[in-house]
Amino acid sequence: MLPLENRIIRCVAKGKFKNEYNLKKDKLFKVNYVTVSDEVEFDFNNDGSGVIFKVYERKNYLSRKAPRIKGAGFRGERLEQVIAANIDNLFVVSSISTPKFNNKAVDRLIVVGESSKIQTTLIINKADLSQDEELEAWAELYNEIGYRVIVTSVKTNEGLEEIRELAKGKKNILWGHSGVGKSSIINALYPSLNLKTGEISNFTQKGKHTTVTSLLSRVENDTYIIDTPGIREIDPYGLTKESLGHYFVEFLPYLEKCRFNTCTHHHEPDCGVIEAVENEEISPERYDSYINMLETVEEDMVY
Ligand SMILES: Nc1nc2c(ncn2[C@@H]2O[C@H](COP(=O)(O)OP(=O)(O)OP(=O)(O)O)[C@@H](O)[C@H]2O)c(=O)[nH]1
Ligand SMILES: [Mg+2]
Ligand SMILES: [Zn+2]
């Protein structure tokens, strides 16, 4: 028999966990009390399956607000949906083309990484499809504010070894829109996983949500990688209008110049961030992205 750590054991969570967080029976709002990369204890059933009875405290976790579902007509707060736990590296994956680079989505994922205090790296994939300077400009922008940017192509293998090096000995997660190439990158690095990859819609230039569930794979002794389904929308959980600016790392040095410590850097007078944008010390793209996010943080949320 394989040692325990090399086996896949199908488990269910004991009812206790379900009741603790599952405020609504409705499947749409079910939050995951046990998530990918959680460390757990379980008992074996006679048939070899397991029942999880203990989830260890998480070092950290990634989450978002449970997505709105069209026609579901829910009222009230949106629950927290945990994506994965105990992560060392968050790779925010984007593509320069097909689908085209979406800096606002990238910034939302970066905010989640920052607010969870997880090391965040940006992957810009499909470099083979880019002939203009746009790719370099985006890479430079994120580099300048302090993020490691890895430009990759699954077609030419550009950048892939850099990911492998960074991932070594760590628990890694790839997160981003559908069709940007998350599963393709993982397959290129670890071909034996043979993850399913999909086409891009000719009509929308978007992916077709090929990966449907998050999957953690052990790829080397201490190296784990998590493939995730492409996101449609991402609203970070637990943010307030006053706290959002703290997760735009290049804003930090300017926050103390704001007249009000509750400044949202939107309309307030004597705002250090707005002044820095005017002085071209903060990029207009990132500031626009910030404003875009600020408008979606619900005013009346109390956490
Ligand atoms: N030209 C080019 N195509 C790529 C590259 N990486 C991935 N693709 C293609 O992009 C499409 C989508 O790739 P996937 O790996 O399925 O994308 P994904 O991010 O896992 O998508 P979801 O599972 O839907 O979230 C596939 O047709 C891949 O062949 C790349 O570097 N260059
Ligand atoms: Mg995929
Ligand atoms: Zn301000």
Q: Domain containing 252 — which CATH number?
A: 1.10.40.50
| Final residue before a domain boundary, out of 197, 227, 257 | 227
Does 183 have pLDDT greater than 50?
yes
* 257 and 143 fall within a common domain: no
Mean predicted confidence (pLDDT) in 107-135: 96
Instruction: Give how far Cα 284 sits from Cα of 27, 260, 274, 291, Å.
Output: 40, 22, 10, 10
| Final residue before a domain boundary, out of 172, 200, 227 | 227
Domain membership flag for residue 152? yes
Q: Which of 79, 28, 91, 80 is nearest to 58 (CA)?
A: 80
* 203 and 148 fall within a common domain: yes
> Cβ contacts of residue 190 below 8 Å, gap of 6+?
217, 219, 225
267 Cα: distance to centroid of ligand 3 (angstroms): 8
- Indicate yes or no: pTM above 0.75: yes
Report the 10 Å Cβ neighbour count for 216: 19
Provide the residue range defining the domain that includes 275: 244-294
Domain membership flag for residue 62? no
Closest ligand by atom to 258 CA:
3
Total tally of structural domains belonging to the chain: 2
* 276 and 205 fall within a common domain: no
Kindly indicate the confidence band of residue 136, based on its pLDDT and cuts at 50, 70 and 90: very high
Number of Cα atoms under 13 Å in the Cβ half of residue 232: 10
Q: Which of 32, 120, 64 is nearest to 236 (CA)?
A: 64
Q: Which residues of 30-62 are buried (b: 16+ CB within 10 A; e: fewer)?
A: bbbbbbbbbeeebeeeeeeebebeebeeeeebb
* 150 and 280 fall within a common domain: no
Does 23 have pLDDT greater than 80?
no
Domain membership flag for residue 216? yes
CB 131 within 8 A of CB 213: no
Mean predicted confidence (pLDDT) in 120-140: 95
50 Cα: distance to centroid of ligand 1 (angstroms): 34
Does 22 have pLDDT greater than 70?
no
96 Cα: distance to centroid of ligand 2 (angstroms): 17
Q: Whole-angstrom Cα distance, residue 71 to residue 87?
A: 34
What does the pLDDT read at residue 29?
41
* 92 and 177 fall within a common domain: yes
Closest ligand by atom to 261 CA:
3
Q: % helix / strand / coil in the chain, to the nearest 5? A: 30, 20, 50
* 153 and 201 fall within a common domain: yes
Does 303 have pLDDT greater than 80?
no
* 272 and 187 fall within a common domain: no
* 93 and 205 fall within a common domain: yes
Instruction: Give how far Cα 254 sits from Cα of 141, 257, 270, 271, Å.
Output: 18, 5, 11, 8
Mean predicted confidence (pLDDT) in 126-151: 96
Domain membership flag for residue 235? no
Domain membership flag for residue 38? no
Does 229 have pLDDT greater than 70?
yes
Residue, of 199 and 32, whose pLDDT is higher: 199
The enclosing domain of 137 has a CATH number of 3.40.50.300
Pairing state between β 215-220 and 80-85: unpaired
Mean predicted confidence (pLDDT) in 276-292: 98
What does the pLDDT read at residue 32?
64
* Alpha helices, H only, the chain: 15-21, 103-115, 134-144, 160-167, 182-189, 252-255, 272-278, 284-294
What does the pLDDT read at residue 292?
96
Mean predicted confidence (pLDDT) in 61-71: 77
Choice among 133-137, 195-199, 234-238, 290-294 with the minimum mean pLDDT: 234-238
* 221 and 249 fall within a common domain: no
* 280 and 210 fall within a common domain: no
Does 301 have pLDDT greater than 70?
no
Does 187 have pLDDT greater than 90?
yes
Tell me the pLDDT tens digit for each residue of 195-226: 999 999 988 889 999 999 999 999 999 999 99
* 95 and 210 fall within a common domain: yes
Kindly indicate the confidence band of residue 288, based on its pLDDT and cuts at 50, 70 and 90: very high
Q: Is 181 in the pocket of ligand 1 (CB under 6 A)?
A: yes
Domain membership flag for residue 115? yes
Kindly indicate the confidence band of residue 131, based on its pLDDT and cuts at 50, 70 and 90: confident
Domain membership flag for residue 34? no
Domain membership flag for residue 147? yes
The two structure tokens encoding residue 218: 């052990």
* 253 and 184 fall within a common domain: no
Q: Is 210 in the pocket of ligand 1 (CB under 6 A)?
A: yes
Report which DSSP code applies to 53: E
